[in-house]
């Protein structure tokens, strides 16, 4: 792999619209030695009712300018071009996200693939979709991305569709609806990298690729009984962006408190790499042709350990022969 730089994600709930918190967080990341950051749309107050607020974008640009980072952007996790209730609004929001990414000089916009069709059934506003409705949703997302991709290309942005992970509530919902737990990958297809590859191939545009989240995939592969490394290989030719974090590959047990989850090693913990069971060295070897950034997605409760997380990630990469072009904060591997 040829890694341009190692970045850190900035949690939206941590910022919560406060630019001073944003600048303080970026300053800390720079002191630690990161060379990039991923900014969250929900934490910045820059999009309201589907519209980009120019003066707030300019204020964010001024706030982040001193840090000389490589930036990427994360769209709202709820944005869904396949099964969103108001498709026109979903398209407006994602286009506004693309324009914001360009405005701050970002290269990649991360978008959670829309191939998760359970939210309406969860809230009780609709029943589970039929097979035909699932197929139409996937086609709807492809058509929307085909319209958005040329705009992204003109603005110098690549949209990276991110893979998903399983949750206990999804299995519980299927059981209540008389379905088998084995049906989860039909309704939450973005857990399979093969489904994301099919979407990217159907869009067929260089400005749409895959953001591969190695932590999400570790949970999904365990839940679905798939080979983790083979799933990475399936996605590899289309990967335009990498998210890494650690976990133990165990489904959540219905507890939301991070302290409870950590104690039992459950769910999408977003731990520093090396704390859990994700086989990063083997995973990176399946991505030998990847060129781009790596973003560490680490939850706020572990932020005291960012220096060790950065150092450990760099060590795994360098010891396995992968190139890091910007190596701020990384000691030489002997």
Whether 197 contacts 214, CB under 8 Å: no
- Report pLDDT digits (tens) over 90-117: 999 999 999 999 999 999 999 999 999 9
Q: How distant, in Å, are the alpha carbons of 27, 81, 114, 125, 231 from that of 85?
A: 39, 9, 12, 10, 30
- Report pLDDT digits (tens) over 212-228: 999 999 999 999 999 99
- Report pLDDT digits (tens) over 119-151: 999 999 999 999 999 999 999 999 999 999 999
Contacts of 285 (CB under 8 A, 6+ apart): 320
Whether 157 contacts 99, CB under 8 Å: no
| DSSP letter string, 63-87 | HHGGG--EEEEE--TT--TTT-SSH
Domains annotated for the chain, with CATH where assigned, are: 2-324 (3.20.20.150)
Contacts of 157 (CB under 8 A, 6+ apart): 98, 101, 102, 106, 107, 108, 109, 207
- Residues recorded for the chain: 334
Which pTM was predicted? 0.96
- Rounded to whole angstroms, the Cα distance separating 34 from 240 reads 19
Number of neighbouring beta carbons within 10 Å of residue 50: 15
Whether 193 contacts 160, CB under 8 Å: no
Whether the per-residue pLDDT at 71 is higher than 60: the answer is yes
Alpha-carbon 140 to chain mean position: 21
Q: Which of 194, 175, 199, 49 is nearest to 118 (CA)?
A: 175
- Report pLDDT digits (tens) over 276-297: 999 999 999 999 999 999 999 9
Compute and round to an integer the Cα radius of gyration of the chain.
Answer: 19
| φ and ψ of 8, to 5 deg | -125, 140
The average confidence (pLDDT) of the chain is: 95
């Amino acid at each position: 792999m040829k890694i341009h730089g190692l970045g850190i994600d900035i949690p939206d709930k941590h910022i919560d619209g406060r630019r001073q918190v944003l600048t303080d967080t970026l300053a800390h990341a720079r002191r630690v030695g990161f060379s990039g950051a991923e900014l969250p749309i929900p934490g910045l107050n820059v999009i309201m009712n589907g519209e980009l607020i120019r003066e707030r974008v300019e204020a964010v640009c001024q706030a982040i300018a001193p840090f000389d980072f490589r930036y990427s952007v994360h769209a709202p996790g709820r944005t869904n071009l396949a099964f969103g209730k108001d498709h026109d609004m979903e398209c407006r929001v994602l286009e506004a996200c693309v324009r914001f990414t360009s405005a701050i000089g970002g290269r990649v916009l991360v978008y959670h693939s829309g191939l998760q069709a359970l939210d309406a059934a969860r809230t009780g506003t609709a029943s589970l979709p039929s097979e035909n409705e699932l197929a139409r949703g996937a086609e709807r997302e492809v058509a929307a991305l085909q319209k958005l991709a040329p705009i992204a290309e003109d603005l110098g942005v690549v949209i990276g569709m991110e893979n998903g992970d399983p949750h206990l509530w999804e299995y519980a919902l299927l059981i209540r609806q008389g379905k088998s737990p084995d049906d989860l990958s039909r309704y939450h297809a973005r857990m399979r990298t093969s489904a994301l590859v099919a979407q990217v191939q159907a869009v067929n545009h260089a400005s749409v690729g895959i953001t591969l989240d190695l932590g999400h995939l570790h949970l999904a592969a365990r839940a679905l009984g798939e080979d983790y490394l083979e799933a990475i290989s399936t996605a590899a030719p289309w990967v335009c962006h990498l998210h890494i974090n650690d976990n133990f590959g165990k489904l959540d047990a219905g507890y939301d408190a991070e302290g409870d989850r950590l104690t039992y090693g459950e769910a999408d913990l977003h731990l520093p790499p090396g704390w859990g069971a994700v086989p990063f060295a083997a995973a990176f070897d399946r991505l030998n042709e990847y060129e781009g950034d790596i973003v560490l997605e680490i939850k706020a409760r572990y932020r005291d350990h960012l220096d060790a997380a950065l150092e450990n990630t760099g060590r795994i990469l360098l010891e396995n022969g992968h190139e890091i072009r910007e190596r701020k904060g990384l000691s030489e591997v002997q």
